[in-house]
């Protein structure tokens, strides 16, 4: 209990200190969110920050090396698979506090979804989708039970909180918070880069009751 209170206090201090260090979603990012999470996410409340520091004075979007056209030639079998739990190393590429998404300094861009849906930044688009699920969890916390402290404890207590095994009786809300975000992240990855993977079909019924899976599938239908 004491550890939970300390974690909550730390999160509150961080949130208060960073009030002016984030931006709203760009129009491209809003479309990205709408195509994946749908109308159940209130995009007006979402903010994006670069780590725990101020936003850069320049756009930092001149380098387009992480922007890949979504075409058949880019499809790579096995790219999206989580075959076994993997120990974490280093800080995460992104994290969420309430309705605020923090992208690591390495992965932050002034627009994380330029030219969507013709192109997608890799891996930024996947990280953004993952963190948007955490914002969705917070916005629907009466249903999901999400609290930042509970999510933080989940990360500490598990070697790989992202690893999941979808079974025939699985349901989305029975997975952990990080697993829920990983489910949607992986479905997006399969849709963009490996649409024929059997795992994609396994994930679809878990996600469809909550997110805009029909819209996403229609956007990239062959």
What confidence tens digit (pLDDT) does each residue in 161-186 have? Answer: 999 999 888 999 999 999 999 999 99
What pLDDT, on a 0 to 100 scale, did the predictor assign at position 88?
Answer: 76
Distance, in Å, from the CA atom of 204 to the CA atom of 215, rounded to the nearest integer, reads 12
Residue 98, both tokens = 């309430």
Distance, in Å, from the CA atom of 41 to the CA atom of 217, rounded to the nearest integer, reads 18
Mean pLDDT along residues 93-120: 94
What pLDDT, on a 0 to 100 scale, did the predictor assign at position 113?
Answer: 96
Distance, in Å, from the CA atom of 120 to the CA atom of 74, rounded to the nearest integer, reads 11
What pLDDT, on a 0 to 100 scale, did the predictor assign at position 176?
Answer: 96
What pLDDT, on a 0 to 100 scale, did the predictor assign at position 67?
Answer: 79
What pLDDT, on a 0 to 100 scale, did the predictor assign at position 147?
Answer: 92
Residue 98, phi-psi category: left (phi > 0), alpha (psi -120 to 50), beta (remainder): left
Q: Is 135 or 222 the better-scoring residue by pLDDT? A: 135
- Whether the per-residue pLDDT at 75 is higher than 50: the answer is yes
Query: Which DSSP helix (H) or strand (E) runs through 207?
Result: helix 198-207
| C-alpha pair distances (Å), 29 with each of 128, 165, 185 | 9, 30, 15
Residue 49, phi-psi category: left (phi > 0), alpha (psi -120 to 50), beta (remainder): beta
Q: What's the distance, CA 18 to chain centroid? A: 20
Distance, in Å, from the CA atom of 155 to the CA atom of 96, rounded to the nearest integer, reads 13
In 3D, which of 40, 36, 70, 73 has the Cα closest to residue 218?
Answer: 36
What pLDDT, on a 0 to 100 scale, did the predictor assign at position 63?
Answer: 59
In 3D, which of 133, 122, 116, 123 has the Cα closest to residue 32?
Answer: 116
Beta bridge partners of 48: 23, 101
- Whether the per-residue pLDDT at 97 is higher than 50: the answer is yes
Torsion angle (degrees, nearest 10) of CA 28, 65, 60, 97: 60
Query: Which DSSP helix (H) or strand (E) runs through 218?
Result: helix 213-219
Q: In 3-state terms, the chain is what percent helix, strand and coil (to 5)?
A: 45, 10, 45
């Amino acid at each position: 209990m004491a550890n939970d209170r300390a974690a909550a206090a730390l999160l509150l201090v961080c949130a208060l200190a960073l009030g002016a260090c984030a931006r709203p979603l760009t129009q491209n990012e809003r479309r990205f969110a709408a195509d994946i999470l749908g109308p159940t996410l209130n995009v007006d409340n979402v903010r994006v920050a670069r780590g725990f520091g101020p936003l850069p004075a320049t756009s930092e979007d001149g380098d387009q090396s992480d922007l890949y056209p979504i075409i058949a030639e880019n499809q790579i079998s096995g790219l999206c698979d989580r075959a076994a739990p993997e120990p974490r190393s280093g800080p995460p590429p992104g994290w969420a506090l309430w309705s605020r998404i923090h992208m690591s300094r390495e992965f932050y861009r002034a627009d994380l979804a330029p030219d969507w849906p013709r192109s997608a930044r890799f891996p930024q688009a996947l990280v953004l989708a993952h963190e948007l699920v955490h914002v969705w969890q917070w916005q629907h916390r009466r249903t999901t039970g999400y609290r930042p402290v509970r999510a933080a404890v989940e990360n500490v207590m598990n070697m790989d909180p992202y690893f999941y095994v979808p079974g025939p009786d699985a349901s989305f809300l029975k997975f952990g918070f990080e697993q829920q975000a990983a489910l949607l992240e992986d479905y997006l990855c399969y849709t963009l880069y490996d649409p024929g993977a059997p795992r994609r079909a396994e994930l679809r019924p878990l996600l469809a009751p909550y997110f805009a899976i029909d819209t996403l599938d229609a956007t990239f239908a062959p």
